[in-house]
Structure 1
Amino acid sequence: MNSQIIDTIKQYSTIIIHRHVRPDPDAYGSQLGLKYILEHNYPDKRILAAGTHDYTMDFLDFPDLVEDQDFEGALVIVTDTANTERVDDQRYKTGAKLIKIDHHPNDDAYGDIVSVDTTASSASELIYELFTYGRDHEGWTMTAKAARLLYAGIIGDTGRFLFPSTTQKTFAVAGELIKYDFDRNALHNGMYEMDRKLLHLQGYMYQNFKMDENGAAHVKITKDILKEFDVTATDTSLLVGSLGNVKGMKAWVILIEEDTEIRVRLRSKGPIINTLAKEFGGGGHPLASGATAYSWQEADQVIARLAEICAAAN
C-alpha cells in the first residue's frame, strides 16, 4: 500500500493534506509531519495543510491558508480521520484523487486509496512507516521538524506510552524519532502544562464526578461552569484523562456544554466504548472515543448506556 501511495504522490504537483476537526496532537502530527516530509523530499511540489487552526495546538505548528482553486487537479490526503463527517474542511472532496491514511476502525472506507491499520498506535506511526518505505525505495530523508511532529502525535495518542495501543513497534519508532534534533522537554511542556484556571476546573471534576457500583462514571460541565472557571470547551481536552486516576473506574464520559451541542468525550480502561460513540453519531478507538449530544436529555442517555456497558463487562 505504501508503494501505491508514494507512486500516487509522485504524479501530482499539488498535494493538500487534511485531518479531523477538534484536532489533537496526532491529527496535527500526522498531517504536518507528512507535509514536511513531502516538502523536504519533493521541493518542486506544492504541499498544503488544510483545516481550521486550534489555538491549543499553537505549540506544535499551524496549517496553511488553502484557496478553492488550490484543489483543482490536486491530490488530497486525509490523515487520522475515521469518517467523512469529521474531515476538517469539506473541500477535500473537490480534489482530483483522495487517499485515506488512518488507524481507526475503517467503518467509512472513503477514498480512492485506503490505508488503514488499526494495530498502529497513531496515524503518526503510520506516517513514519510510509517514510521508512520512501527512505528504503526512494531515498527519502527526514527532518527534525517532521520528526518532532510525528513524535508528538505518537505520545499524544498513546498517553505517553501508557495506553494499550502502545506496541514494541511504537517504542521502536519513537526511538528512531528522538535521534533527530528537537527539544523533547519543551514539546512535553507544550502538550501537558496547564493554566491554573484549568487545574481549578480539574479539581471541580474530581469533586463532582459520579461513579456507579460498576465503575461507570460521568461529569457534566455546563456553560455556566466553563464561565465560572474562565475556560473554553476546547481547553477541557487536556482534562479528558483525569478521571482515569480514580480507583475502581472502568469507563467515564465527560460532557461539555457548548452553545448548540454537548461534546461527549468517552474513555475506558477496558470496556469497549466506540460502539457507544457510534450510537450518537461519533466514533473513535475502542477505549477512546467522542460523540455529540444535542440536549441534556440525550446526554443522560449516553450516561445510561455507559452504565449498561460497564455492568455487562462485570
Structure 2
Amino acid sequence: MYEHVTKILYSVETVALFMHINPDADCVGSSLAMYKYLTNLGKKVDVFLEPTEEIRDNIYILPNIDVINSTSPSSHYDLGITLDCASPTRLGKKMLKILNTHCEITISFDHHKSYSKFTDILILDANSASTTQILYKFFKENDIDAIDLDVATCLYAGLITDSGNFSYNSTTVETFEVASELISYGVDHSLLARVLYLETSYNAFSLSLRVLSNAMFYYDKRLGVIMFTSEDFKQTETKLVDTDGIVNILVNIKEVILALSIVEISNNEFKVGLRSKGDFDSSLIAEHFGGGGHKNASGCKLYGPKDEVLNKLVSVSKHYLDKYDKH
C-alpha cells in the first residue's frame, strides 16, 4: 500500500518534519513518533514548529519533545514531511518557506477530509481517527522492528486525543486494534489518558469557570457558545493553549448538538472551534468560513467586531441545525 513512500524513505538520509500551528497531541505525537522511527532507521531528522507557536503543557509528557526546533534548519533536506496538517497556511509562513525551499521531496500524512494538497505525495485517510493511526499502519508495513516504546507512546497519544478518548464517530474497530497493539509495547495508557485528556492546570480551570459561567445557548439549547476575550486571559493568567478542551464540556450537555468556542486572538481576529455529537457535521460550518476538520471536531478563523462574528456564527449554525432536523 505504501511501497512508493517506503522506497523514498530508504533512499534519503536527511529528513525535516513539520508540525501545524497551534499543535495538538495528534500533531505533536505524529511528529515525535516519526522522528524516533526515522532515527531508529538511521536517518538524520529535524522537527520544526513555527517560532510563534506554543505547545500545551500536558503534551510535554511525550518522549523526545525537546527535539522540536523553530530556528535552525539545514540548507537542504532530502525529504520534508508534514504531519496532521490540512493546508499550507496551517504550517505558518516560516515553516512553509522551509518546506518549499529546503526540501527536495515533500510528503504529507493526514486524516482531514478538508485537506488541500500542497506536497508532492499525499498519504490521506479521512476515515482514520488520527494521523497517528495512519502512521502506525505505515510503520508496520515499512519496518515494524523500528517501532519502540517511544514511538508507540507518541502514536497512542494522538490516537486517544483525536478520537475523543475513543468516543467520536471516527473511532472504528481498527482504531481499537491499533490501540491494543500499541499498548502491547508497554505504553502507559492510563497515565496518558489522565494527563492528556483529563488533567488541567489551576489557571486553565479558572479560565473554564469564567467562560462557562457566561455560556450562551440558542435554539432550544441545541447550540451552545462560549467566548474567550483578552480580558479573560489577563484575569486568569492564561494563554490560547489553555482553551483546549473547554468546549467539550459544552457539547456534553444533553440538549446541545453543536458547541462553539470563539477565542479572541487579536483585535478583530477570532479562532473558532466547533464540536458536535452524533451525525451532525460541524465541518460544514467550518468550511463555510474557510476552515475545515472532521465531522465532530473542526475549526476556522473569522475577522471583524466580536458581536458581528458571533451573529454570523449563530446564523450559519441555525441554517445547518435546521437542515439537520429536517433530515
Check whether TM > 0.5: yes
For 1:48, the equivalent position in structure 2 comes to: 46
Partner residue of 1:303?
314
For 1:107 and 1:190, locate their aligned partners in 2 and report how far apart those are by CA, in whole Å. 29
**CA apart distance, 1:108:** 1.0
Please say if residues 226 and 247 of structure 2, whose CA atoms lie closer than 8 Å, have aligned partners that are also in contact: no
Equivalent residue for 1:122, pick from 130, 137, 142: 130
C-alpha displacement of 1:303: 2.3
Code of the residue aligned with 1:186 in structure 2: it is: L
* Map 1:210-289 → 2, pairs under 5 A: 210-213=216-219, 215-260=222-267, 261-269=269-277, 270-289=279-298
Aligned amino acid, residue 26 of structure 1: D
Equivalent residue, structure 1, for 2:78: 74
Q: Which residue of 1 aligns with 2:106?
A: 98
- Partner residue in 1 for 2:324: 313
Matches within 5 A, 1:106-117: 106-117=114-125
One-letter code aligned to 1:134: N
Structure 2 counterpart of 1:142? 147
Unaligned runs of 5+ in 1: none
Root mean square deviation, CA, Å: 1.9
Q: Relative to structure 1, is the Cα distance of residues 169 and 257 closer, same or farther in structure 2, using a 3 angstrom cutoff?
A: same
Amino acid at match of 2:174: K
- Answering whether residue 69 of structure 2 is matched by residue 65 of structure 1, we say yes
Is the CA contact 1:74–1:97 (under 8 Å) kept in the aligned structure 2? yes
Matched, 1:176 2:184: no
Q: Which moved more, 1:48-57 or 1:219-228?
A: 48-57
SS of corresponding position for 1:15: strand
SS at match of 1:23: coil
Residue 87 in 1 paired to residue 97 in 2? Answer: no
Contact 1:293–1:299 (CA<8 Å) still a contact in 2? no
Over 3 Å counting, the alpha-carbon distance change for 1:103 and 1:26 in structure 2 is same
Q: Secondary structure at the match of 1:82?
A: coil
Q: Structure 1 residue 73: deviation in Å?
A: 4.1
Distance of aligned partners of 1:306 and 1:146 in 2 relative to their CA distance in 1, 3 Å threshold: same
1:195 is the counterpart of 2:201: yes
| 8 Å CA contact 1:51, 1:63 repeated in 2 | no
How far apart are 1:165 and its partner, in Å? 0.6
Q: Does 1:30 align with 2:30?
A: yes
* Number of equivalenced pairs: 309
Q: Distance in 1 between matches of 2:118 and 2:89?
A: 11
The CA distance in 1 between the partners of 2:127 and 2:24, in whole Å, is: 19
Letter matched to residue 288 of structure 1 = A
Larger displacement relative to structure 2 (146-155 or 2-11): 2-11
CA shift digits 1:203-260 (9 cap, x unpaired): 3333321222251221112111222222212211131311122111010111111224
8 Å CA contact 1:106, 1:116 repeated in 2 = no
Secondary structure class of the residue paired with 1:198: helix
Q: Which amino acid aligns with 1:240?
A: V
Q: Within 1, Cα distance between the matches of 2:6 and 2:80?
A: 13
Q: Distance in 2 between matches of 1:212 and 1:19?
A: 36
Does 2:159 correspond to 1:154?
yes
**TM-score, normalising length: structure 2:** 0.88
Task: Evaluate the alpha carbon distance shift between residue 311 and residue 62 of structure 1 in structure 2; reply closer, same or farther with a 3 A threshold.
Answer: farther
> Measured at CA, do residues 18 and 271 of structure 1 come closer, stay the same or move farther in structure 2, by a change above 3 Å?
same
Task: State percent identity of aligned pairs.
Answer: 26
Which string of whole-angstrom CA distances, capped at 9 and with x for unpartnered residues, describes residues 150-187 of structure 1? 00000010011011110000000000001113433332
